Amino acid sequence: MKALVFSRPGSLSIEELPCPEPHGDELLIKVAASGICGTDVHIFHGGFPCAFPLVPGHEFAGEVVAVGPECVRFQPGARVAVEPNIPCNNCPECLRGEHHYCRAMRVPGVNLPGGMAEYVLVNERAAFDIGALPWEHGALVEPLSCVVHATERLAPQLGEQVLVMGAGPIGVLMARLMRARGVRAVDILEREPERRRAAAALGLGRVFGDPVEISAKTYDACADATGASVLVAEAANRLVRPGAGVGVWGAGADGDDRSRSFPLLSRRNPAPGQLHLAQEQPAGH
């Protein structure tokens, strides 16, 4: 099979690799669509802890083409999306139900072969039937699940005014989800002109390029989708009202100013900063 391989930081190539075979409760998936996450970019540049060489990709969907002898939920022909985080189920975090903070997490595209290949193995428990959902939408199930989890933790209320920092894929998904939840107004803060234009074209709300353009104490909640500690501090100190929620999602690469936000924070209980998603979203949520 053909696969994209990061052989070392800054180096990628299309290589011919052996096609894996499913064992136990594994599924062999023929990948139909695979997204590019910011984590993939950090890995490529050597800013994320992983071992090279590596087949990247943890946002993907595809067709089941073979199943291991212990599989009971899926048969060849099933169309699935994948929840990539594979917890150990033994560490204190897993035993508390916080699988997304597992100390021994295995993730395709990080420490297992990922979805930027023609075929990939996944545990049957990590696959979810997507029915007739378009493949490209199936590849967005993982980031959207992260956004659903982050938004539910922040818990913006009907009629509130919310600021989303960052107009990348995660920030745009956050803004759209909050609008769907009935949040009165969702504004976006984004420094990159191209992303500002894209966000404005989607009609998500007011789009600002600099915090100084926003009046103080404007927002009831703030959702960070950048991991940029400077922006988070600005929002927490000036842009949100006293007692408002500030939720941080994600973090930057080592050595980046954003990496200081990795010990994720929040100002609203219960809305701690969070990374990835929890295994709690029901099908069709």
> What pLDDT digit, counting tens, does each position of 68-106 carry?
999 999 999 999 999 999 999 999 999 998 888 898 999
Residues of each domain in the chain carrying CATH 3.40.50.720: 150-261
Residue 137's pLDDT band, with cuts at 50, 70 and 90, is very high
Q: Which tokens is 282 given?
A: 């029901």
Task: Quote the CATH superfamily of domain 2-143.
Answer: Medium-chain alcohol dehydrogenases, catalytic domain (3.90.180.10)
Vertex 48 angle, CA 11 and 81, to 5°: 90
Q: Return all residues near 197 (Cβ < 8 A) that are at least 6 apart.
A: none
Q: Is the model more confident about 249 or about 269? A: 249
Question: Which runs of E-coded beta strand occur in the chain?
Answer: 2-8, 11-16, 26-34, 60-67, 79-82, 119-123, 127-129, 161-165, 185-189, 207-208, 219-224, 240-248
Q: Which tokens is 77 given?
A: 């022909």
Q: Is the model more confident about 130 or about 218? A: 130
Model confidence pLDDT, tens digit, residues 116-130 = 999 999 999 999 999
Burial 127-148 (b: 16+ CB within 10 A, else e): bbebeeeebeebbbbbbbbbbb
Distances (CA, A) of 11 to 7, 17, 46, 59, 115: 6, 17, 10, 21, 18
| Dihedral sign from CA coordinates of 201, 151, 57, 122 | negative
| Dihedral sign from CA coordinates of 67, 71, 76, 79 | negative
Q: Return all residues near 84 (Cβ < 8 A) that are at least 6 apart.
A: 58, 59, 107, 108, 109, 122, 126, 142
Return the CATH architecture of domain 150-261: 3-Layer(aba) Sandwich (3.40)
Dihedrals φ, ψ of 49, to 5°?
A: -70, 115
The reported pTM is: 0.83
